[in-house]
Amino acid sequence: MIRLSCPDVGEQELQAIATVFERAYLGMSKEVKAFEEELTDFLQMPTVCVNNGTGALQLALQACGIGRGDEVIVPSLTYVASFQAISATGANAVACDVDAHTGLMDLEDVKKRLTPRTKALMYVHYASQIGNRQQVLDFAQEKGLRLIEDAAHSFGHADLINAPADILCWSFDGLKNVTAGEGGGVSTNNQEVLSHIRDGRLLGVEGDSQKRFNQQRSWAFDVKHQGWRFHMSDVMAAIGRVQLRRFQELHQKRRAIVEAYFKAFRSMPWIGLFEEIASPKVSPYPFPVRVPSDQREAFQDFLKERGVETGRLYYPNHWLTFYKTPYELPQTDAIYAQLTAIPLNPKMTLEDAGRVIEVVGEFFKKL
């Protein structure tokens, strides 16, 4: 089976974990500190590490003072993590529609969802695209809203390095562009937000991050707000540091596959492509395509029978009991019915990509 997603981890990552084991300090300490410094350098923006991408989003919202009674507008087409991070703060996740071609937040629909309780927009970089983010940033600024970006898919996008932004949230889970096994990060130039998250990830204990970075503990301290056990461990950071050093290598592997896909699929009229992914600026994850909705199931079965794994990213959140909307989101419904993700991971060879292309071609020849 050619896998949809798969991390590329090996000897170097194992060696890095061994070093942490030898130090016998597994919690949050020197490795996390170093990972934060290296991420800050890479992204050209101050970055703090947390337990996972969901925790990053939740802490970012809470650092903005968002909670009960507030509303956060988020596209329905995203992993349920985006929604859960919002509702975990006590705020309401207000689902909005997406653009029918990009799957990104539809600003015209956002305008319909605004109320006096709206405090923030969560912009999701679906399939590594950042499309209309500048427009969304301008809109948020104009309306006095916070902009928290779910950048779980877009780590390494060239236009996000040193970019104007309010808050960017990353995921380092097992499938993402850079993995730490599990992990997340928040990047922002806002010192207040950074400081709130540094304490918030360690039960709100003031200044505990700095102590732990020096392998010390806080025995007497103050807590001024609700906190969580959302810190990153040195074991995870050790993996993440190696992956970050390998970024170019992993990026090139993903790009080579994506370029082969674009070259082949451009001549297959049945396949809808997400055009931004063709840009060399994009570090792609995952690789969804659009197929005619009445063919999707047959397409997935056909590929599966021939050893090619596929997926549906993502089941719309406004269809879920917990996040059901009293209004329709027709563009989300329409695009979801066509979405099929095909394999893209740094362990794949170009022969694997060739096999995927061949099987996809065979399917569409029958139509």
Tell which one of 5, 58, 76, 82 touches ligand PLP (CB under 6 A). Answer: 82
When asked if residue 149 is in the footprint of ligand PLP (CB under 6 A), the reply is no
Of 54 and 129, nearer to ligand PLP (C-beta) is 54
Query: Taking Cα atoms as reference points, which of 334, 357, 328, 318 lies closest to residue 76?
Result: 318
Backbone angles phi, psi at 152, to 5 degrees: -60, -30
Q: What is the nearest approach in angstroms of ligand PLP to the Cβ of residue 125? A: 8
Tell which one of 78, 177, 179, 300 touches ligand PLP (CB under 6 A). Answer: 78
Give 289's strand partners.
Answer: 340
CA distances from 64 to 151, 194, 224 (A): 18, 10, 15
Exposure string for 106-132, b = 16+ CB within 10 A, e = fewer: bbebbeebeeeebbbbbbbbbbbbbbb
Q: Calculate ∠ Cα 172-296-265, nearest 5°.
A: 75
When asked if residue 74 is in the footprint of ligand PLP (CB under 6 A), the reply is no
Q: In angstroms, rounded to a whole number, what is the distance separating the alpha carbons of residues 343 and 4?
A: 4
Tell which one of 66, 81, 127, 329 touches ligand PLP (CB under 6 A). Answer: 81
Q: How far apart are the first and last CA of the chain?
A: 25
Of 60 and 359, nearer to ligand PLP (C-beta) is 60
Alpha helices in the chain (DSSP H): 11-23, 30-43, 53-63, 80-88, 107-113, 133-143, 191-200, 208-213, 234-245, 247-265, 296-305, 330-336, 350-365
Q: In angstroms, rounded to a whole number, what is the distance separating the alpha carbons of residues 71 and 34?
A: 36
Tell which one of 7, 53, 103, 284 touches ligand PLP (CB under 6 A). Answer: 53
When asked if residue 33 is in the footprint of ligand PLP (CB under 6 A), the reply is no
Of 243 and 302, nearer to ligand PLP (C-beta) is 243
Per CB under 6 A, the segment of 32-40, 113-121, 150-158, 300-308 that binds ligand PLP is 150-158
When asked if residue 173 is in the footprint of ligand PLP (CB under 6 A), the reply is yes
Q: Count how many Cα atoms sit within 13 Å of the Cα of residue 62 in the half-sphere of its side chain.
A: 24
When asked if residue 4 is in the footprint of ligand PLP (CB under 6 A), the reply is no
When asked if residue 153 is in the footprint of ligand PLP (CB under 6 A), the reply is yes
Q: In angstroms, rounded to a whole number, what is the distance separating the alpha carbons of residues 352 and 346?
A: 11
Residue sitting closest to ligand PLP (CB) = 53
Of 150 and 166, nearer to ligand PLP (C-beta) is 150
When asked if residue 152 is in the footprint of ligand PLP (CB under 6 A), the reply is yes
Q: What is the nearest approach in angstroms of ligand PLP to the Cβ of residue 81? A: 4
Residue 121 is encoded by which pair of tokens? Answer: 């927009």
When asked if residue 171 is in the footprint of ligand PLP (CB under 6 A), the reply is yes
Q: Name which of residues 116 to 135 contact ligand PLP (CB under 6 A).
A: 124
Q: What is the nearest approach in angstroms of ligand PLP to the Cβ of residue 55? A: 7
Residue position matching structure tokens 């104007």: 164
Q: What is the nearest approach in angstroms of ligand PLP to the Cβ of residue 36? A: 16
Q: Calculate ∠ Cα 155-141-190, nearest 5°.
A: 55
Q: Calculate ∠ Cα 166-168-171, nearest 5°.
A: 165
Per CB under 6 A, the segment of 147-155, 221-229, 235-243, 350-358 that binds ligand PLP is 147-155
Q: Name which of residues 260 to 279 contact ligand PLP (CB under 6 A).
A: none
Tell which one of 5, 29, 47, 52 touches ligand PLP (CB under 6 A). Answer: 52
When asked if residue 184 is in the footprint of ligand PLP (CB under 6 A), the reply is yes
When asked if residue 325 is in the footprint of ligand PLP (CB under 6 A), the reply is no
Q: In angstroms, rounded to a whole number, what is the distance separating the alpha carbons of residues 295 and 293?
A: 5
Per CB under 6 A, the segment of 38-46, 79-87, 223-231, 351-359 that binds ligand PLP is 79-87
Of 79 and 299, nearer to ligand PLP (C-beta) is 79
Q: Which residues of the shown chain bind ligand PLP in the complex (CB under 6 A)?
A: 52-54, 78-79, 81-82, 124, 150, 152-153, 171, 173, 184
